[in-house]
Homo-oligomer: A and B are copies of this chain.
Amino acid sequence: VQDWRITLAWDGRRFCGWQRQPNVVTIQQVVEESLAAVLGGASVTVTASGRTDAGVHALAQVASFQTDVPRSPVAIRNGLNFHLPPEIVCLDASHAPPDFNARAWSRSKLYRYRILAHPVRCPFRDGKVWHIKKKLDVRAMAEAVKPLEGAHDFSSFRASGCTAAHARRFIVSATVTSVDSDEIHMEFVGNGFLRHQVRVMAGTLVQVGLGRFTPARIATILAARDRCEAGRTAPAAGLWLVRVETGDGPINPRPPQ
């Protein structure tokens, strides 16, 4: 059996997120169906480094699968791109080390939240940014984001329906910058994020940018461990999974039996 690593990009507008669900179209389902076509009908399970919400975009998601059907890396990549709909693309396919699992081997992810900060909408960025017409104080947002770096209990920034066992996560880097004169990017690097965590952090930082919260209030909200203290969840449309780094083995290996 061969382990494979594939890198996928997608425009998430038309899909109900990554994970297979009944009665809706998801990225996982479409990728698995396309891959089955490439593998001559053999059904296959594709594991991504993590789930993404409906409407979220990916520039380079990493995923893994196993198959005993012999195919070259170029045949996998080009075959997938032939079968995938226009909104999804396989950027790369390569042989992976034995037992490679994109979820278990994932070490860090970079998420970018894009805001279009301009009085008028942009015909080229519909569904790809959160459009905010009011002026945002980027310096205040850049100051406010810093207390989110490090290991914290992010209970204040998780979706009410989040099912993770605990809310402790580690953010390696959190930044807010102006880009190309009309965008503001909030970028977060970490091993894993809670459900809606990046979007709740983004929505709360926008409150700072609008002058409704002081930058210092972010630390207070974090300490409260109460979702009601934070701002609204920012729309999925502005969220981009930019990069995934994988290590050389699973992060929580099963103990030898």
Contacts and interface: CB of A to CB of B under 8 A. Distances in A.
A217 B128 CA distance: 42
Given A57-B124, A89-B121, 16 more contacts: A9-B124, A11-B123, A11-B124, A77-B120, A81-B121, A86-B121, A86-B123, A86-B126, A87-B123, A88-B123, A89-B120, A89-B122, A89-B123, A90-B120, A91-B120, A124-B128
A10 interface: yes
A216 B149 CA distance: 56
A121 to B, nearest CB: 6
A46 B87 CA distance: 36
Contacts of A122: 9, 89
A191 to B, nearest CB: 27
Interface of A: 9-11, 57, 77, 81, 86-91, 120-124, 126, 128
A121 B126 CA distance: 20
How many identical subunits does the complex contain?
2
Contact of A120 (B10, B81, B121, B124): B81
A10 B9 CA distance: 25
A183 B124 CA distance: 17
A9 B10 CA distance: 25
A155 B57 CA distance: 45
A89 B122 CA distance: 7
Nearest to A9: B123
A119 to B, nearest CB: 8
21 contacts: A9-B122, A9-B123, A9-B124, A10-B123, A11-B123, A11-B124, A57-B124, A77-B120, A81-B121, A86-B121, A86-B123, A86-B126, A87-B123, A88-B123, A89-B120, A89-B121, A89-B122, A89-B123, A90-B120, A91-B120, A124-B128
A251 B90 CA distance: 51
Q: A87, A121, A126, A128 — which one has the most chain B CB atoms within 10 A of its CB?
A: A121
A55 to B, nearest CB: 14
Contacts of A11: 123-124
Across the A-B interface, give the 7 residue pairs with the lowest CB-CB distance, nearest first: A11-B123, A87-B123, A89-B123, A81-B120, A86-B126, A89-B120, A89-B121
